[in-house]
Amino acid sequence: MKEAEERHQVEIKVYKQKVKHLLYEHQNSISELKGEGVVSNKLMRKEHAELENELCKGMRTLKKNDQEMTKTRNDFERQVREIEAKYETKMQMLRQEQDLRRKTEIHEIEERKNSQINMLMKNHEKAFSDIKNYYNDITLNNLSLINSLKASNTTTISANNQGEKLQLHTYTRTSVHTHMHKNSGL
């Protein structure tokens, strides 16, 4: 038992030494880490400062780019407004020209139409006058013919009346003469 106790004591010593050794190594590691941490902290600060400088530089570049883009956009918008104004003016001029051309064409068409209407009215009046004269001539000729026929008829009737009177007169004379001869012969 003593041996077991001694062995146990030896094992405890060995474990204690191992623990001491591990503690020592742990302390060394901590010291190294602390030393490295200081160095690392310095490096981190340096890197942080460099990153901050780069970030500021990048921000300045971005701000400059943003200003340039704003200027470019403003120039572009100004050009667009100028182009729109230019073409709006052109469109108004074209509309005015188109309106003037349309009004001129309408006026010319109306002039041609009025001229055609006047020509048709003159032709109609001439045709109407010609037909009126034709029928007036026919009417006058018919009236002349009627008057001529009436005169001829009157002459014929008058001649017939005179012939009848002459016949009656001749008959009456002949009758009187015959009657006288008959009476004288008695």
pLDDT per residue over 98-138, tens digit each? 999 999 999 999 999 999 999 999 999 999 999 999 999 99
178 vs 169: CA distance, rounded Å: 14
The H or E element containing residue 1 is none
Which of 9-18, 71-80, 154-163, 174-183 is predicted most confidently?
Answer: 71-80
Single-letter amino acid code for the residue at 79: Q
Phi/psi-derived region of residue 178, left when phi > 0, alpha when psi is between -120 and 50, beta in every other case: alpha
CA distances from 62 to 19, 54, 70 (A): 58, 12, 12
Dihedral angle computed from the Cα positions of residues 102, 108, 112 and 115, in that order, rounded to the nearest 10 degrees:
130
Q: Output the CA–CA distances (angstroms, integers) from residue 162 to 27, 113, 138, 171, 176, in the order listed.
A: 188, 71, 35, 13, 20
| Percentage of the chain exceeding pLDDT 70 | 81
Phi, psi for 105 (deg, rounded to 5): -65, -40
- Is the pTM value of this prediction over 0.85? no
Q: For 127-184, how does the pLDDT look when each residue is reduced to its tens digit (9 = 90+)?
A: 999 999 999 999 988 888 888 888 877 777 777 777 677 666 776 677 666 666 666 6
**Separation between Cα atoms, residue 165 and residue 157, nearest integer Å:** 12
Range 62-71 average pLDDT: 85
Q: DSSP characters for 75-109?
A: HHHHHHHHHHHHHHHHHHHHHHHHHHHHHHHHHHH
Q: What is the pLDDT of residue 176?
A: 63
**Residue range 24-45: average pLDDT?**
71
Grouping H, G, I as helix, E, B as strand and the rest as coil, residue 170 is helix
The pLDDT, as a whole number, for residue 110 is 96
